[in-house]
């Protein structure tokens, strides 16, 4: 498996050049790679059966032909952004707009000649004041950024853009939907990449731990600067790698020892399924300075069977 940290930009998927600095989290899913690779095929079929077919039945939009990738991230200054790339048809765009109008107030707006919409959930007293908009959608609570209000646009070809912050929407429309990446500048997050990546994700867990809680889980969170995940193709198998950047090498070594110990214990569990035991035995744990890496290679059918269970 070919895995690199940013700032490489020649690999499939996203790199730091595609993401802004000061992120709280990011996620990128490449459905094209999943559909077109041997290892991704079974996983995509499960996703198609469990998710895509249901969405198509419910709202008449076929993600298998109209969506190629989804990129989402949240930064502390501009809130949350979701960019869906693919040949989303005008018919599907109209359906999404009609669905939004069922339970929300939808205002049509324009910036630089490009159309976008402000969705305000019925009953939400959303203010047009820029300071309030920035405060409510600042990325500090990324999962709540779209509560009550959101902005979306189909004005950029083959892209659906959703933001929690109006200024960010206007900036993306002006740039043609291109995000100004941070490269290796201070404050940027590291990104794991591969030749054929399916899912990439990263997180800054600061602020997630309870300051008064002294248990080991909270201690690990407090001492973790960043975490990243990569799921990709590796010779017909699915490769999974997770990396944690700790605040100091001692903490990384301690976490690595705990993970290695748990793996060793399970490897001798006679009641464990043979496939799961093989997966555990193939798991590798490495610690270098303050970076902990855990990686393994999994049979695609095993992942599907676990998901089905």
Residue 93 sits in the same domain as residue 150: yes
Residue 197 sits in the same domain as residue 293: yes
Residue 217 sits in the same domain as residue 258: yes
In a domain, 259, yes or no: yes
Please give the residue range of the domain that contains residue 229: 192-308
Residue 197 sits in the same domain as residue 275: yes
Residue 220 sits in the same domain as residue 130: no
In a domain, 23, yes or no: no
Rank 6-10, 86-90, 213-217, 259-263 by mean pLDDT and report only the highest: 86-90
In a domain, 60, yes or no: no
Residue 224 sits in the same domain as residue 256: yes
Structural domain count of the chain = 2
Instruction: Give me the residue label for tokens 């059966």.
Output: 49
CA 10 to chain centre: 20
pLDDT of residue 118: 97
Please give the torsion angle defined by the CA atoms of residues 178, 12, 160 and 50, in that order, rounded to the nearest 10 degrees.
Answer: -160
Residue 293 sits in the same domain as residue 202: yes
In a domain, 170, yes or no: yes
Lowest pLDDT segment from 70-84, 103-117, 162-176: 70-84
Tens of pLDDT, residue by residue over 126-138, are 555 555 554 444 4
Between CA 199 and CA 308 the distance in angstroms is 19
Q: What's the rounded mean pLDDT across residues 238-245?
A: 94
pLDDT of residue 5: 36
Inter-residue contact 69 to 29 (CB < 8 Å): yes
Residue 76 sits in the same domain as residue 165: yes
Tens of pLDDT, residue by residue over 250-289, are 989 998 998 899 888 887 787 888 778 888 888 999 999 9
The mean predicted confidence, pLDDT, of the chain is 83
In a domain, 294, yes or no: yes
């Amino acid at each position: 498996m070919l895995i690199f940290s940013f700032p490489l930009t020649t690999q499939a998927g996203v790199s730091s050049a595609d993401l802004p600095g000061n992120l709280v989290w990011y996620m990128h899913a490449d459905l094209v790679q999943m559909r077109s690779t041997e290892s991704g095929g079974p996983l995509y079929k499960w996703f198609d059966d469990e998710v895509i077919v249901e969405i198509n039945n419910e709202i008449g939009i076929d993600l298998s032909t109209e969506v190629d990738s989804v990129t989402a991230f949240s930064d502390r200054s501009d809130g949350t952004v979701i960019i869906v790339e693919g040949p989303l048809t005008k018919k599907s765009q109209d359906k999404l707009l009609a669905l939004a109008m069922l339970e929300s107030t939808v205002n049509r707006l324009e910036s630089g000649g490009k159309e976008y919409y402000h969705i305000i959930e019925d009953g939400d007293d959303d203010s047009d004041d820029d300071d309030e908009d920035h405060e409510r959608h600042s990325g500090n609570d990324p999962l709540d950024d779209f509560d009550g209000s959101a902005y979306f646009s189909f004005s950029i070809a083959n892209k659906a853009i959703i933001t929690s912050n109006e200024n960010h929407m206007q900036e993306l429309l002006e740039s043609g939907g291109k995000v100004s990446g941070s490269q290796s500048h201070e404050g940027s997050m590291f990104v794991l990449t591969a030749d054929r990546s399916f899912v990439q994700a990263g997180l800054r867990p600061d602020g997630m731990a309870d300051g008064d809680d002294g248990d080991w889980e909270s201690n690990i969170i407090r001492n973790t600067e960043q975490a990243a995940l990569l799921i990709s193709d590796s010779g017909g198998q699915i490769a999974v790698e997770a990396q944690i950047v700790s605040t100091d090498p001692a903490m990384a070594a301690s976490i690595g020892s705990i993970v290695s110990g748990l793996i060793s214990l399970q490897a001798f569990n006679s009641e464990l399924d043979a496939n799961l035991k093989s997966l555990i035995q193939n798991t590798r744990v490495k610690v270098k300075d303050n970076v902990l890496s855990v990686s393994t290679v999994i049979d695609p059918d095993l992942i599907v069977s676990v998901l089905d269970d």
